[in-house]
Structure 1
Amino acid sequence: MTLKYHNRAGKVQPPSPFDQKPEQYKQLSFCLQQPVSGEQSYYRDEFDGEIRPALSQVLNAIRPPKSTTVSKHRRQIYDKQEAEWLAHKNRSVGKSFHKRMELHLKNEPNQSHYCNLVNAEWRSVQPVLEKIGEIHLVEQVVPWNGCLPYAAKLDFLGQYNGLLHVIEWTTSTEFIPELEYLGDKLKQVTGQVKAVRDFYNLDINRALVVVAHPYGEATVFTLEREELANCWEKQLLPDLRRFYAKQIPMVS
Structure 2
Amino acid sequence: MSKKILLIGIGAGNPEHITVQAIKALNRTQVFFILDKGYDNDDLLRLRKDICERYIEGNDYRLVQVQDPRREDHPDTYRAGIEAWHEQRAVLFERMIGEDVGADETAAFLVWGDPALYDSTLRILDRVLERGGPMFEYEVIPGITSVQALAARHRIALNRIGEPILITTGRQLAQGQDAAIDNVVVMLDAHCTFERFVDQDLSIYWGAYLGTPDEMLICGKLSEVSEQIKHAREQARAEKGWIMDTYLLRRTLA
TM-score by length of 2: 0.22
Using CA pairs below 8 Å that are at least 6 residues apart, which structure has the higher relative contact order? 2
